[in-house]
Structure 1
């Protein structure tokens, strides 16, 4: 990000032939609504300046309308995948992780302090109502700044030195957010997989807000929707990231048509979506997504049996051979993308563990380094990933411009002798008759590693690590715990160590917030209590009492105050050096491969890609609205 940035959604002159060709190019799916006049023609549905997506220039093939795509989800909550993969954002990343205007026609940033947003004239929500500055005002003033609706205060990406932004409406189509100091986190937060929300359909949501609705009518709506408080009703009806309310107008390419609970969710094309291709066709090409709820454990089997037309979530590298073999029996194809996590699997020692003996040990960097040095990563890579991964600490990948080999090498070499010496140093020199070391309180040195039990890869890796650690006198036991209880158990100090993935974003640029390397969230399993303190602005949890962890938090604050790219790159380097040297998570293997399965009819799904929640939004930056189906179903 430079001191002054401007990003236009599209050049207006390029739109003349697009809008001129739009007439007569309607999706057949919408024809009944066009015939009965319940839907206006495309020329009236599109913004005056739609976003032009030149599919051919992306190295792909302009498509045609039609068809439906089936996919499998592990629970009702996973309808959020449509928001993540649909990837309609005020400002979004492209495939090279550059920022551009998307829903916005343009944005301008001055000194990363003053951000001016231009709304597309004539841009409409999925119900046909206009998107205007009032939708931004309502979201900011009546929701984000409302203590009843946002009891935790503004998101951290909207706070600078403890201050909220100045919000201004310049005109019906222009709004501005300003801070006294730099806020480099603002634009990337808008482009995130779970984006910072700045706009809500005010005309629809005001009926659920006590400021605008008659009290008696609001009471009736609460009773109808079984809500005890108006705030609970508003939150439920306005949820965008997990779009459970079919009546909520959206700006996404597909809108949910199914009210939960349900075993199947149907998402239909948004007839007012703001993007067009170079031939004047309104995106998305695909009419429907059908999301079938299934047990997570059988998603690979059902995908390989032809029950999914597009599947990535729920699949793992261990499924690849089976899925590849399914190509012989079903019209499927399976591709391998590179996962973006800092480590596909990572051991996360809970530095906030409730057991005082283990908390003291795990907070000792020598203990963490010893456990890391005792692991034979080459064996894990060969046995679990067929040697196709990259043995590494939990850090960024070579695809990131910030990468340094020293980060990957930090305490990641297999050196059981050095590991044993470090364990002696921390006071674990005594061993029992079985060779297991004795803790200062007389107990055996037994580490319980908890997993969500969702992947055979985790079990295979832990079985190998069990043998590695036993060589240096540490016993490892595996306990399976449901994903949903992980967070509460970790916060309560009940988890000693967990196995999860490493840092989410292994391909950052200096313009992306390095907060993943510091205790900044309560779902970070190695320091959830410290993370809760940060994210709640000190209302819950505790501040880090470990100097290195406290230094990481201060470095995040330095990054947020920086106004120039070189400053941000310097902060990133400092944090990556500290994080890997202190072994706050024990990485194993990264650059592993992710199966992405699709029907052989699907076009424009790239053969290769970077796959992860952050920053690519799984398939999101590859624009699924440009995917299309060829041939007959």
Structure 2
């Protein structure tokens, strides 16, 4: 039974922090992470997937023993509560837009190191990772004989190419290496002792490095050099590059290289991959077909090369139609674009369409949150959105209990956008800050800041221009649940003289409008890391990321090292930014914990985002023929990769 009060549980957060603690505090001189089980056993009994046997027999593909690295990554199915499966079959799933083909990378979740189902960090693509010097030096060992999906060797040269020819090449990376690799202005020292060894080191600990390698949208510190060199000015003939630039209608060689080089977007079928499935369809398309990677590095305990499933087909459909199509049996595995409001409908169609509907726990700081844009370009709106009294009034006017009871049967947690009860950092004062409904006090706050005049409809007027206080809340237009919540909030805000309009648009359009400052308020989910421990970075609470929709320009300024965006110019966000830097340099665990609590206190008291409800269960529809999908699990973006940490390469069909 789902218990909303235990939204994510303390165990995953505690386990997730175990490696981080060693990295941050130097509790051991050297930490060696080794992945998989007995690779030698798997080498003796490697089994060929039937779908590839004919190609091997014809000589079109080497035998499995020559395709799988040694040692392979042997998946411990028993530890995950899974069973040895049967290879074969096609998995159908639905996506709301062509760009969601990247979910093959999310779900496939092949990473240098990654989280397992218990949120422990383990080597995956890497054979081992040695962390020494108190988290200052990271020595990565590759698996012998590992190959890209096209059969070319995966070696340290792929890491060297990215570092020397991409990350530090000014035309390809004008702002330099990713911010996670730069500690107080210091770039890492990167060396390549041999074909299987890569070493990153800094003069001080880097707590971001390992979590970013394990991320859902990971930090890719390697590239398929053998493929990309044909587009690079250092390696290719100038005439060939000029011809391709003209054919692709791009500005220059750098634009050409960037267009073909995106391991995460998965939109270039020619780009070799290390994921379990290879996309074979070039966008735009309404149907994407991915086939098994014959060189994938994981095997099951019996030596069968994974993935079990031969083919994944992603069909695009209008997002509002996906629940109905799922209920009609058009998807074998679906959580994307379905919401808790669809749960009853999905359950009613289980028998007819042959699937189960599970409820997975969610781990975001808020299932639904409003983001006032403190970087709005409109002078009047920016003035009021930056006034904490305005934000507090909007929060206090919301009847969270009514939203919870009406839309979520009381199963959600009425909460600010903050850490959840499963986190050791949780405090009731953070959860409840400015969330108690008090229309009288909200009205008094708005009067206090000068919004005293109203029009004939009772809507307040801006004294600066006489315009009504009408907030346009912009959404990605993908979720009817957001519309339902906003409709209830509309009624609440009407009682304090504020009118609410909604404006749905495509996700990319929404984000661009927020980034530019054209959108004054938007809707998204809350803190990505809802169950942190003090060893984990509190970066989400500070202006460090453009995708933090409450202060995108400040986040962009940080990410680009001042090359774009704007420097924070409000006292408390500047304080949060400094506290985040203090946390980075703190060595004492007690000090790190103190900084976390100070940041959480400031963040919630200042209502930089307006959380509404948290802990809403996520329906997960699973075909009755599909096995090894957990009935109870956590559904989260990062860490979690939605299905990724549960190993979709080990899901299998009962044919």
2:365 to 328, 342, 355: 342
For the 8 Å contact 1:188–1:512, the answer to whether it is kept is no
- 1:9 alignment partner in structure 2: 34
1:499 to 523, 533, 542: 523
Q: How many residues align?
A: 628
For the 8 Å contact 2:568–2:574, the answer to whether it is kept is yes
- 2:83 alignment partner in structure 1: 61
SS in 2 for 1:329: helix
Q: CA deviation at 1:48?
A: 1.3
Aligned runs of 1:152-163 on 2, under 5 Å?
152-163=175-186
Distance 2:279 2:286 in 1: 14
Q: CA deviation at 1:176?
A: 0.7
- 2:135 alignment partner in structure 1: 112
Aligned runs of 1:508-523 on 2, under 5 Å?
508-523=532-547
- 1:594 alignment partner in structure 2: 618
Distance 2:289 2:470 in 1: 48
SS in 2 for 1:522: coil
1:212 to 224, 235, 241: 235
For the 8 Å contact 2:96–2:337, the answer to whether it is kept is yes
Distance 2:240 2:494 in 1: 66
Distance 1:229 1:425 in 2: 56
Distance 2:260 2:499 in 1: 49
1:460 to 484, 493, 496: 484
Matched, 1:435 2:480: no
For the 8 Å contact 1:258–1:265, the answer to whether it is kept is yes
For the 8 Å contact 2:80–2:117, the answer to whether it is kept is no
Aligned runs of 1:109-258 on 2, under 5 Å?
109-110=131-132, 111-258=134-281
SS in 2 for 1:615: coil
Aligned runs of 1:404-443 on 2, under 5 Å?
404-441=427-464, 442-443=466-467
For the 8 Å contact 2:337–2:479, the answer to whether it is kept is no
For the 8 Å contact 2:355–2:622, the answer to whether it is kept is yes
1:384 to 391, 404, 407: 407
Return 523-532 or 28-37, whichever deviates more: 523-532
Distance 2:571 2:263 in 1: 39
For the 8 Å contact 2:279–2:288, the answer to whether it is kept is yes
For the 8 Å contact 2:470–2:500, the answer to whether it is kept is yes
For the 8 Å contact 1:158–1:165, the answer to whether it is kept is yes
SS in 1 for 2:544: coil
1:30 to 49, 52, 62: 52
Distance 1:506 1:64 in 2: 36
Distance 1:562 1:30 in 2: 53
Distance 1:383 1:521 in 2: 34
- 1:617 alignment partner in structure 2: 641
Q: Cα distance 1:482–1:262, how it changes in 2: closer, same or farther (>3 A)?
A: closer
Q: CA deviation at 1:90?
A: 0.5
Structure 2 residues not aligned, in runs of 5+ = 1-19
- 1:259 alignment partner in structure 2: 282
Could you tell me the TM-score, scaled by structure 1's length? 0.95
For the 8 Å contact 1:8–1:106, the answer to whether it is kept is yes
- 2:385 alignment partner in structure 1: 362
Could you tell me the TM-score, scaled by structure 2's length? 0.92
Distance 1:109 1:559 in 2: 20
Q: CA deviation at 1:482?
A: 3.0
1:292 to 290, 315, 321: 315
For the 8 Å contact 1:9–1:51, the answer to whether it is kept is no
For the 8 Å contact 1:449–1:499, the answer to whether it is kept is yes
- 1:574 alignment partner in structure 2: 598
SS in 1 for 2:45: helix
1:544 to 547, 556, 568: 568
SS in 2 for 1:588: strand
SS in 2 for 1:346: strand
Q: Cα distance 1:404–1:95, how it changes in 2: closer, same or farther (>3 A)?
A: farther
SS in 2 for 1:435: coil
Q: CA deviation at 1:223?
A: 4.2
Q: Cα distance 1:7–1:607, how it changes in 2: closer, same or farther (>3 A)?
A: farther
Matched, 1:270 2:293: yes
Structure 1 residues not aligned, in runs of 5+ = none
Q: CA deviation at 1:567?
A: 4.3
Q: CA deviation at 1:531?
A: 1.7
Matched, 1:74 2:96: yes
Deviations 1:2-56 (A, max 9, x none): 12453433377x233222121xx21110012111122222222121111121101
Return 329-338 or 498-507, whichever deviates more: 498-507
1:448 to 448, 451, 472: 472
Q: CA deviation at 1:474?
A: 2.0
Distance 2:530 2:69 in 1: 36
- 1:94 alignment partner in structure 2: 116
SS in 1 for 2:471: strand
For the 8 Å contact 2:545–2:555, the answer to whether it is kept is yes
Q: CA deviation at 1:310?
A: 1.0
SS in 2 for 1:328: helix
For the 8 Å contact 1:72–1:292, the answer to whether it is kept is yes
Distance 1:162 1:609 in 2: 40
Distance 2:264 2:312 in 1: 17
Matched, 1:48 2:73: no
Q: Cα distance 1:354–1:245, how it changes in 2: closer, same or farther (>3 A)?
A: closer
Deviations 1:122-142 (A, max 9, x none): 111112222111111001111
2:500 to 459, 472, 476: 476
Return 1-10 or 180-189, whichever deviates more: 1-10
Distance 2:505 2:248 in 1: 33
- 2:4 alignment partner in structure 1: none
- 1:302 alignment partner in structure 2: 325
Distance 2:595 2:557 in 1: 22
When the two chains are superposed, the root-mean-square deviation of aligned CA atoms in Å is: 1.8
Q: CA deviation at 1:565?
A: 4.9
Q: CA deviation at 1:228?
A: 4.1
Q: CA deviation at 1:563?
A: 4.6
Q: CA deviation at 1:406?
A: 2.1
